[in-house]
Chain A
Amino acid sequence: MGALLELRDLVVTYHSRGRASLTAVAGVSIDLQEAHTLALIGESGSGKSTIARAICGLIRAESGAITIDGRDLLKEAEQPEAAGRYGIQIVFQDPVSSLDPRWPIWRSVAEPRLARFPGSTDTHRRAAVALLERVGLPASFADRKPHQLSGGQRQRVTIARALAAAPRLIILDEAVSALDVSVRNEILALLDELKRERQLTYLFISHDMGAVAQVASDVAVLYLGRLVEVGSADAVIRRPMHPYTRALIAAVPSLTRIGTREARAIGEIDDPAAPPPGCRFHRRCAYAADICRRDVPVEREYAGRVLACHRAEDIALMM
């Protein structure tokens, strides 16, 4: 299976009056393989959510291409509608603000179908109830209002709504981040089932490395709007090569390493409005050399992954 969605040299810039413009995504190229889960990781300010929004047309990209079925979404007149037509759906972190508080649950779930498929109210309602049951909610929830549901139940509803549009790609933008761990894993298991059952492709955006390690088939690491490492989940999580990826993974307190002190403080992310020259990570990098301060590292194949690091060979020797 090939790529379902291709991002090419994607640039997204936020402009605001009276302030310097901020390039949140500074030339990102990546393929989303069909039926894979690509996880996008990085700290706040890395540009992960901006990429999600740019794909859906919720933010206008400055330049580049977002291609699905050979068509560039950025060339479509109404990008948000076009994204929906090509089978792209998004689930956000906060299910409370994603659901209309006045509508019964079934109505929210039916919404994407109402817009696109003809049929009686009864047909749509029945389809919505079937989807609610599929995501593990009882049919009796159809007439409830969002406030009567728990956070995990509400997130199941937004997943059911995404499924109603018969999607091919679901963008999960921190979709499990607000949930308690015990509930979070139940939702991850549901997403995993749905993916197999419906041949879905996921773009899984999360700062939660524990969740990423469970669901991702591929991982892309973003730093200040640029990719620093892309590869299989196994390679990137278990054998990270880029100093940033290594710091990010080492910072996660893991129960399999109780009592060990691998993590090292690496300072704070630079201001995205004024990214440093050369390698954007160099100010926080223990391995930074003159070349890192001067030249932007190009993405290249290295050790079975794509890496943007001048010093990959030297660092590998030190490991």
Chain B
Amino acid sequence: MTHPAPHSPRSNGDAVLKVNDLAVLDYRTGEGVPLTGPISFEIGTGEIFGLVGESGSGKSMTALALMRLVPHTSRVSGSAQLKQRDLISASETAMRAIRGAELAMIFQEPMTALNPVFTLEAQLKAAIRAHRKVSSREARTQSIELLRMVGIPDPETRLQYYPHQLSGGMCQRVMIAMALASGAKFLIADEPTTALDVTIQEQIVQLIERLVRESHLSVLFISHDLGVVARLCDRVAVLYAGEIVEMGQSQILLRDPLHPYTKGLLRCAPDFSAVGVVRRGIPGTPPAAGKWDAGCRFRSRCEFAQEKCRAPQMLEEFAPGHHVRCCRAQELRGKAS
């Protein structure tokens, strides 16, 4: 079952990525333990799509599956078409050409993602020349251009810097520059601002927005932070225990959440209108991978759980473009959890 990307402010509705029943299974113990999925979604050209979830929900594993970088003990099933090409069934050689040239990824800790013993120039040039035959001088010129594009002041001087000479925010800008060095138009950003101060987070968010606008980038933005997703993303999918429990336009989903889990997350989000009020979290902890319920996976923590929640729950379209996986969504609508 696919959920076509609707028109959104930034996208014309043409899907650049179509993910269908994507799942990752871990085979370390012999039998396949599901690590995430199956999940399905589409991302439109020029769209910023948010994937929100807590630790263990499978959001990073989904990203790694798209990059085909899952641990060798696990297996990926389903399909993920990036411009008509299936990433899941592509050969390793084909994937090597796709990574960087069409699909790029940035991570949470920019400091550890850069090589500490090489200058930025060496690392940027290597990223550029991995896919294109250009002279060293041409690669240097392009490196300067890339650093300028991601807002690094005085790029000629900074090229000679080592990563430790840069702040966390600057490192993340360099990571973005390297990710886009080979012309990739699809960026997977896995918690790119989580390790940064909020003031710096806002700068990275603005940079991503600008790159989407100017370079026609499409972005899969992974985060545990609903606030930053609301700020940046056109649409959002909420992941719980390996499956999407709610998906829709971020403005609508966050104003009118339908799934009890989304409601719980929203209750915990920053709210400066009520200082000094401690709000309840969600009791209990998410089930570990492989210990997922055949029915609603959120059932054990849900205050609204009933007998009928023991049955498998389907992700259904509740309103145009707004999907929810909860058999009680209609009767609980508007009810705060």
Contacts and interface: CB of A to CB of B under 8 A. Distances in A.
B270 A254 contact: yes
Contacts of B198: 43, 207, 209, 248, 251-252
Interface string B260-282: 00001111111111111111111
Interface string A128-166: 000000000000000000000011110000000000000
A251 B275 contact: no
Given A44-B197, A181-B268, A252-B227, A233 B276 contact: yes
B254 interface: yes
A315 interface: no
A44 B275 CA distance: 23
Given A252-B198, A256-B272, A185 B227 contact: no
A214 to B, nearest CB: 5
Interface in B157-202: 167-170, 197-202
A237 B226 CA distance: 20
B12 interface: no
A251 B199 contact: yes
A150 B203 CA distance: 33
Contact of B271 (A187, A188, A255, A268): A255
A266 interface: yes
Interface residues of B, number: 49
Contact of B268 (A185, A259, A268): A185
A180 B224 contact: yes
A258 B275 contact: no
A252 B278 contact: no
Contact of B251 (A253, A256, A259, A269): A259
A152 B224 contact: no
Contacts of B169: 268
A43, A234, A263, most chain B CB atoms within 10 A: A263
B190 to A, nearest CB: 16
A184 B269 CA distance: 11
A234 B272 CA distance: 9
Contacts of A180: 54-55, 224, 286
B256 to A, nearest CB: 12
Contacts of B306: none
A210 B271 contact: yes
B227 A253 contact: yes
B272 A268 contact: no
Interface residues of A, number: 46
B227 A255 contact: yes
Contacts of A183: 54, 281-282, 285
Contacts of A188: 278, 281
Given A44-B197, A183-B281, A255 B269 contact: yes
A181 B226 CA distance: 10
A255 B275 contact: no
A265 B270 contact: no
B255 interface: yes
A312 interface: no
A59 interface: no
A210 B270 contact: yes
Contacts of B285: 150, 152-153, 183
Contacts of A265: 199, 202-203, 206
A202 to B, nearest CB: 12
A237 B272 contact: yes
B100 to A, nearest CB: 28
A213 B281 contact: no
A256 B202 contact: no
B305 interface: no
B283 interface: yes
Contacts of A251: 198-199, 201-202
B145 interface: no
B335 interface: no
A181 B228 contact: no
Most buried by B among A189, A238, A252: A252
A22 to B, nearest CB: 15
Contacts of A288: none
B224 A181 contact: yes
A234 B276 CA distance: 8
Most buried by B among A213, A251, A253: A253
Nearest to A185: B281
Given A183-B281, A255-B254, A258-B254, A238 B275 contact: yes
Contacts of A153: 285
A150 B280 CA distance: 19
Interface in A209-261: 209-210, 213-217, 233-234, 237-238, 247-249, 251-256, 258-259
15 contacts: A181-B281, A182-B54, A182-B265, A182-B281, A185-B278, A185-B280, A185-B281, A186-B282, A209-B198, A213-B272, A238-B272, A251-B198, A253-B225, A253-B232, A265-B202
Given A43-B199, A258-B254, 20 more contacts: A43-B198, A151-B55, A181-B224, A185-B278, A188-B278, A188-B281, A189-B280, A213-B276, A215-B278, A238-B275, A253-B227, A253-B230, A253-B231, A253-B232, A254-B270, A256-B272, A265-B206, A268-B169, A269-B197, A269-B199
